[in-house]
Structure 1
């Protein structure tokens, strides 16, 4: 199975978690790492290139920090420009049907914050509903989320465990 990991972190070089996850996958012949902010520092997305990458892979991973209860802005812009009517959904928009979609995200807050009685008042599943709806619209099979909570305070030992579990999830 060919997997496309779309890394979308506006401050990737400062991210211990996202960099470590990429390092864990780096070198796997069935995985293509695609850093959106690295590829498009001017945010001018090459739609044809992006659609070609999607067609070449069986599994798509959106790897990102949970950013103001959503995705980073470049991922939203990417969705708007790449997942177009007639290509990804709508009449004849079947190019992604049957592919798998995995959401892999890191949060700064602990897991307990994402409960109805927690600081954020909503569960992670509730926050991610728009991406679930997107998956439904474009015909992908949404896999169980991979979430690393507490990224800002993660220990080196826990980061290594997270990286191994992430790679296992992406490659399974």
Structure 2
């Protein structure tokens, strides 16, 4: 099954975990890695190109670091301009129906910070409701989220393990 991983990290050169994930995912034949910030440094998204990429894959994954309890801004812009009425949703917008959709996220804070009573008060599941709603509206199946949390304190071995875990997740959880 072909998987499209849409990566949104505004500073990939200084990333640790997302960069390692991307490097590892590039080794997989059935996974296409598409870095939005590299593809669109001017932030002018080619809608037709993006829609064609979506059509060519059975599963779509958004990979990003959690920024202010959501995704980096270019991913939101991508959603706004690519997932158009009549194409992705609406009575005639059925192009994504039946595709799998998932998230691969990293957080600087530990898992304990993302729960009721934790530092951030909300779970990742609660914070990702807009992505779940997007999947519902576009007829995609929302799949289990992959999250690496507390990445600021992970050592190189733990980072490598997270990259391998992501690959296993993409191959088995969907």
Q: TM-score range by the shorter chain?
A: over 0.9
Q: How many residues align?
A: 172
C-alpha distance in 1 between matches for 2:115 and 2:16: 25
Q: Secondary structure at the match of 1:144?
A: coil
- Structure 1 residue 171: Cα displacement: 2.2
Q: Which residue does the alignment assign to 2:23? A: 23
Q: How far apart are the structure 2 equivalents of 1:94 and 1:50?
A: 16
* Offset at residue 139 of structure 1 (A): 0.6
CA distance in 2, matches of 1:27, 1:146: 19
Q: Secondary structure at the match of 2:60?
A: strand
Match of 2:3 in 1: 3
Distance apart, 1:64 and its partner CA: 0.3
CA–CA separation in structure 1 for the residues paired with 2:6 and 2:113: 26
- Give 1:25 shift: 1.4
In structure 2, the residue matched to 1:69 is: 69
SS in 1 for 2:32: strand
CA displacement, residues 94-126 of structure 1 (integer Å, 9 cap, x when unaligned): 000000011000001000000111100111111
What RMSD in Å do the two structures reach over aligned CA positions?
0.7
TM-score (norm 2): 0.97
Are 1:84 and 2:84 matched, yes or no?
yes
2:51 counterpart of 1:51: yes
Could you tell me how far apart the structure 1 residues matched to 2:42 and 2:151 are? 27
Query: Structure 2 regions of 5+ residues with no counterpart?
Result: none
Structure 1's unaligned 5+ residue stretches are none
TM-score, length basis structure 1: 0.98
The runs of at least 4 aligned residues of structure 1 exceeding 3 Å deviation read: none
SS of the aligned residue for 2:130 comes to: helix
